[in-house]
Amino acid sequence: MSSPESRRFDAPAMQPIRTLAVTGGKGGVGKTNVSVNLAVALAELGKRTLLLDADLGLANVDVLLGLSPQYTLADLVSGRCSLEQVLIEGPAGLLVVPAASGRRHMAELRPAEHVGLVNVFSDLERDLDVMVVDTAAGITDSVLTFCQAAQDAAIVVCDEPASITDAYALIKVLSRERGVNRVQVIANMVRSQNEGRALYDKLSRVCERFIGDVSLNYLGAVPQCDWLRLAVQRQQAVVRAYPASPSARALSEIARRASRWQAPAAPRGNVEFFVERMIRQGAPA
């Protein structure tokens, strides 16, 4: 039997949460589609999943999922509502934190405000297994902070020179300025599995040569797929609208792989999502 003392520490028995930021450097490589579909697929696998739209200037997770949010992160930042009120339910029980599009002040938050947004999540009293974070294009402070704050950053890259150089630039800045030493890679819009693997090999070779202290891990490839475009038109996730399509199968497989990752056991000692849960978990009994 536990003592009153240990019961006190046991009380907030919420699990640590696995967090994955989806990023890529270049615009239009498929970050939002990858985020939305991984989150929906994880929810379908029974993982309690939260999808955060962290593209603060040009948010569109809600558009891709056909949701009409009452409140967004902009209302939270201006103190008009709580994080709990911003949450909206998506497909398969997925929880979504939508952001606002076209509010310039959201795209121009100060670095301390980005850290503040990360810390707001510590107050969320929900039992969750995974959080997926869709980030903006570029290597701005918001992108770097959300990637740093997640356990893993998944870089979406496609087979064009600008995507590869932007992915490399982003990995370099994450490694040098934010201490990120592990990066996941997802190849998108590929014409074959071989193309995806070759793309990963190319990126990992330049990172090894010019950055050094960062390890890359290949999560898989998503084919170029007209069904995905059709799903975008219908404002649905392709894994739900056309689950047998090539892109849906690939995204579901990546989600299955990610669902087997272990949640973190201890905080890393810098900006981090849900850090207080980890501290509470590690509290002495």
Ligand X SMILES: Nc1ncnc2c1ncn2[C@@H]1O[C@H](COP(=O)(O)OP(=O)(O)OP(=O)(O)O)[C@@H](O)[C@H]1O
Give me the residues that bind Mg ion (CB under 5 A), please. Answer: 31-32
**Helix locations, 27-139, DSSP H:** 31-44, 61-64, 73-77, 83-86, 104-107, 111-120
133 binds ligand X (CB under 6 A): no
Phi, psi angles (nearest 5°) of residue 268: -95, -10
**Of residues 133 and 232, the one with the C-beta less far from ligand X:** 232
Structure-token match 């929906």, residue found: 40
Asked whether 221 and 190 are in contact (CB, 8 A), the reply is yes
Binding to ligand X by residue 32, rule CB under 6 A? yes
Interface residue with ligand X among 44, 55, 75, 166 (CB under 6 A) is 55
Query: Closest separation between CB of residue 187 and ligand X, Å?
Result: 10
Smallest separation (angstroms) from Mg ion to the CB of 118? 19
CB of 59 to ligand X, least distance (A): 9
User: Binding segment for ligand X among 25-33, 38-46, 139-147, 273-281 (CB under 6 A)?
Assistant: 25-33
Q: How far apart are CA 207 and CA 170, in angstroms?
A: 11
Task: Let me know if 46 is exposed, middle or buried by CB neighbors in 10 A (0-12, 13-18, 19+).
Answer: exposed
The residue among 16 and 196 lying less far from ligand X, judged by its C-beta, is 196
The answer to whether residue 140 forms part of the interface with ligand X (CB under 6 A) is: no
| Binding of ligand X by 157 (CB under 6 A) | no
**In the set 99, 189, 199, 203, which binds ligand X (CB under 6 A)?**
189
Q: Mark out the alpha helices in 79-160 (DSSP H runs).
A: 83-86, 104-107, 111-120, 141-149
- Is residue 30 part of the contact set for ligand X (CB under 6 A)? yes
Dihedral through CA 272, CA 171, CA 182, CA 259, nearest 10? 70
Question: Which residues here bind ligand X, judged by CB under 6 A?
Answer: 24, 27-33, 55, 137, 188-189, 222, 224-225, 228-229, 232, 247
